[in-house]
Structure formats: C-alpha cells, structure tokens
C-alpha cells in the first residue's frame, strides 16, 4: 500500500494499483470523523453523511448519503436518509429512510422506512415499512409492513402486514395479515387473515 500526502490531496493505491482515490485533506477529515473539538467521536462515511445535530458530542457510526443520527448517541446508522431526526440511543438503523423521527433506546430497525416515527424501546423491526409508529416496548416484527402503529407491549408479528394496529399485550401473529387491530392480550393467530379485531 502506497500513501502520498500533499498539501491538498491524499492518494491511496492498493497493491494491484486498481484503485485510486484523491480527495482534499479537509474532505477526508470530514468523511473519516467529525467533531468540532479535538476528540474524534463520530464516524461518517458516504457522500452527504451528516454529523449529529448536537455538534459532534455523540458517539455514533454513520454511513450513507444524507444519513444522520439526529441528537442520538451510541447508534449505528446506514442507508440513504436513515436516522433523520432521531433521538434514539444505542440502536441500529439500516435501510433507506429507516428510523426517521424516532426515539427510544436499544431498537433495531432493518429495512426501507422501518421504525419510522417510533417512540418505544427494545423493539426489533425487520422488513420494509415494518415497525412504523410503534409507541411501546419489547415488540418484534418480521415481514413487510408488519407491526405498524402498535401501542401494546411484548407482541410478535411474523408475516406480510401481520400484527399492525395492536393495542393489546403479549400477542403473536404468525401469518400474512394475521392478528391485526387486536385489543386483547395473550392471543395467537397463525393462519392467513386470522385473529383480526380480537378483544
């Protein structure tokens, strides 16, 4: 590996001389880490990745065009526009527009727009548009559009559009469109379109 440092540029060539990148020293410093102070606490990579809104006092890892961690701390954020406006802590946000305008702690949002506008903690949402608008804790959602607008706690939803609009606690939906709009507790729905509006 060969490194050449000039006043304005930094070049990096791999052993096969197949890759060459030239960037300004100022741009390189911004991409590697941002902090107005001496401490390098936040790591940013990708065009347009944004440091925390609080000026760099948070310990976050950010990757992706227009990705940010808002004022949150201890987060890993990857994806275009991911994490915009979030105040979450110790969470993982992966996917375009995932985790925007969200708060809480120790959440995992994986997928396009997963976990948007959520305020709960200890929630896991895997799948595009899953876990949006969740305002409670300890819910697990797997599947496209699953587990949206949930205010109950300790619920699990697996399947396309399963387990959305649930206000009850400790319910399980295990199929597409199952267990939606449930207001009761301790219910199980494991077939397509079953268990809706259970009180």
In tens, the pLDDT along 96-153 reads 999 999 999 999 999 999 999 999 999 999 999 999 999 999 999 999 999 999 999 9
Mean pLDDT of 154-170: 97
- Which value, in Å, is the radius of gyration of the alpha carbons in the chain? 21
Look at residue 31 and give its three-state secondary structure: helix
pLDDT at residue 73, as a whole number: 87
pTM of the predicted structure, to 2 decimals = 0.73
pLDDT at residue 43, as a whole number: 57
The answer to whether 90 touches 77, Cβ cutoff 8 Å, is no
Q: From the DSSP assignment, how many helices (H) and strands (E) are in the chain?
A: 1, 13
Strand arrangement, sheet containing 2-5: 2-5, 9-13, 20-24
For the beta carbon of residue 181, count every other beta carbon within 10 angstroms.
16
Residue 178 has pLDDT above 70, yes or no: yes
Share of the chain above pLDDT 70, in %: 70
Confidence label for 67 from pLDDT (cuts 50, 70 and 90): confident
Residue 40 has pLDDT above 60, yes or no: no
| Long-range contacts formed by 118-122: CB under 8 A, 24+ apart | 120/153
Q: Higher confidence at residue 49 or residue 157?
A: 157
Q: Specify the range with the lowest mean pLDDT, choosing from 35-39, 111-115, 134-138, 167-171.
A: 35-39
């Amino acid at each position: 590996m060969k490194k050449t440092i000039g006043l304005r540029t930094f070049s990096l060539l791999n052993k096969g001389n197949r890759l060459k990148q030239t960037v300004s020293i100022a741009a390189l410093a911004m991409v590697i880490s941002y902090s107005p102070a001496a401490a390098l606490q936040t790591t940013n990579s990708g065009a347009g990745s944004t440091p925390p809104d609080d000026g760099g006092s948070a310990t976050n890892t950010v990757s992706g065009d227009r990705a940010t961690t808002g004022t949150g701390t201890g987060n890993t954020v990857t994806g275009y526009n991911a994490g915009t406006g979030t105040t979450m802590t110790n969470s993982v946000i992966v996917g375009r527009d995932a985790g925007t305008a969200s708060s809480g702690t120790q959440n995992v949002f994986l997928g396009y727009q997963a976990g948007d506008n959520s305020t709960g903690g200890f929630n896991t949402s895997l799948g595009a548009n899953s876990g949006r608008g969740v305002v409670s804790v300890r819910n697990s959602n797997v599947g496209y559009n699953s587990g949206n607008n949930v205010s109950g706690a300790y619920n699990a939803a697996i399947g396309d559009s399963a387990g959305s609009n649930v206000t009850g606690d400790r319910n399980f939906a295990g199929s597409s469109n199952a267990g939606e709009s449930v207001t009761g507790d301790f219910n199980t729905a494991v077939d397509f379109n079953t268990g809706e509006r259970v009180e």
